Amino acid sequence: MDDHFDGSRFFNPWNPRKHSFLNLLKWKLTAKPKPWPEHIENRLFPPPPNIVYGDQLVATFIGHATVLIQTQGINILTDPIWNEFAAPFKMKTVRRRAAPGVKMEDLPKIDLILVSHGHYDHLDQMTLETLWNRDHPLIVAPLGNDAVIRSNDPSIRVQTLDWNQSLMADPNLIVHLMPAQHWSSRSFFDWDRELWGSFVLETPDGNIYFAGDTGYGNGEVFKYVKSRFQEFRFAMLPIGTYEPRWFMRYVHMNPFDAVEAFKELGEPYTMGIHFGTFKLSDEGFQDPIDDLKEALKSAPHPERFRALQNGESWLIP
């Protein structure tokens, strides 16, 4: 999985994606989206702890692909977005339907941020700049995304990695960038100019996997990651943004795909992500939850795969 750049654009070497503006247009012209609530009220949960030491691992689902991971005295955020819109403009179609489960002022000091790719619902410049000015965390992203993150503030510290590259973020934490089956863009004119990926966090008390955004394909990504790292204590897998399948299948898993990925990884404790905040595709608001329950009927350990509510924390065994 090393040959994924042609000198101009990145690609998935095992099954390259076919670019087609006509397919996008076809989806938009034929879409039959199910309705979502205009506003989703979050339940109130206790704020996360300021710090978690040793082998304890606490994961708090903040919403969409934003998760607070706390272990080894380190506070980590994945794909943080507190913005009201997942777009460069205030577009009603990508307006946040549910508030972040943890308010920014209730967030503990952040040491490390992982950015999986450059789409607006994953790389939010406003949120990254706010967190940088507040906490000066290390930000780790795939190749090319540093230019986007630092475009408004060149002082922001960003470390970029290629697939299969690593860095030591702390004596007790190694960050590995791994492949994902996805793509990147911030406009119609920069498709695949920046790399995308998933992350493995290697700790003394078990590996943690953050899938970012990815299609399932034939399971290549998950088989490869499992072969490299063998065992996982905790995983975060996307379960939303999957209809219509003819258009979304390549780049987004549905809950049935996510359960297959869960099995490929050895059925670690797993949190479903990428659902219930932004209406980005045609499935209904409740569909990811209902489909996940159905998909887990085929899993030997369904109790290990949970879809949390925004703001809910999980003490991982």
Residue 279 within a domain: yes
How does pLDDT run across 275-300, given as a tens digit for each residue?
Answer: 999 999 999 999 999 999 999 999 99
Residue 6 within a domain: no
Average pLDDT, the chain: 95
Residues 23 and 101: their CA atoms lie apart, in Å, by 35
Residue 198 within a domain: yes
| pLDDT value, residue 179 | 98
How does pLDDT run across 179-226, given as a tens digit for each residue?
Answer: 999 999 998 788 899 999 999 999 999 999 999 999 999 999 999 999
Quote the strand ranges of 137-284, DSSP E: 138-142, 158-161, 166-170, 173-178, 198-203, 206-210, 234-238, 269-273
| pLDDT value, residue 98 | 97
Helical (H) or strand (E) element with 130: helix 125-135
Write down the H helix ranges in 137-184. Answer: 145-149
Sign of the torsion angle spanned by Cα atoms 265, 267, 270, 275: positive
DSSP letter for 15, please.
S
Higher pLDDT, 1 or 298: 298
Order of strands, edge to edge, in the sheet holding 198-203?
166-170, 173-178, 198-203, 206-210, 234-238, 269-273, 305-306
Residues 116 and 133: their CA atoms lie apart, in Å, by 21
- Say if residues 111 and 117 touch (Cβ distance below 8 Å): no
Query: Which amino acid, one-letter code, is at 315?
Result: L
DSSP letter for 113, please.
E
> What CATH number has the domain bearing residue 167?
3.60.15.10
Does residue 1 surpass a pLDDT of 70?
no
Residue 48 within a domain: yes
Helical (H) or strand (E) element with 313: strand 313-315
Upstream peptide bond of 300 is cis (omega within 30 degrees of 0)? no
Number of domains within the chain: 1
| pLDDT value, residue 29 | 85
Nearest CA among 138, 126, 122, 259 for reference residue 183: 122
| pLDDT value, residue 2 | 62
Residue 57 within a domain: yes
The residue to which tokens 């060149």 are assigned: 154
How does pLDDT run across 152-174, given as a tens digit for each residue?
Answer: 999 999 999 999 999 999 999 99
Does residue 76 surpass a pLDDT of 80?
yes
Does residue 78 surpass a pLDDT of 90?
yes
| Packing angle, helices 255-264 and 220-229, rounded to 10 | 30
How does pLDDT run across 225-282, given as a tens digit for each residue?
Answer: 999 999 999 999 999 999 999 999 999 999 999 999 999 999 999 999 999 999 999 9
Sign of the torsion angle spanned by Cα atoms 273, 277, 278, 284: positive
Residue 292 within a domain: yes
Vertex 147: Cα angle to 278 and 94 (nearest 5): 15
Both tokens of 54, joined, read 């040793």
Side-chain-side CA neighbours of residue 84 (13 Å): 5
Domain extent at residue 197: 38-315
